Amino acid sequence: MKEITVESHTTISIIDDDDAVRMATASLVRSLGFQTTIFASAEEFLQSQQVQTSACIITDIQMPGMNGVEMQSALRAAGNNIPMIFMTAFPEDNIRRQAFEAGAAGFLIKPFEGDQILACLDKAIGAGSRGAENHTLPGSD
Nearest residue to 43 (alpha-carbon basis) of 6, 18, 68, 12: 68
- Which of 17, 21, 55 has its CA nearest to residue 39? 17
Dump pLDDT digits (tens) for 76-95. 999 999 999 999 998 889 88
Question: pLDDT averaged over the chain?
Answer: 85
Confidence of residue 2 (pLDDT cuts 50, 70, 90): very low
> How large is the average pLDDT for residues 41-64?
96
So what CATH class is 10-128? Answer: alpha beta
Q: pTM for the full model? A: 0.84
d(CA 117, CA 32): 10
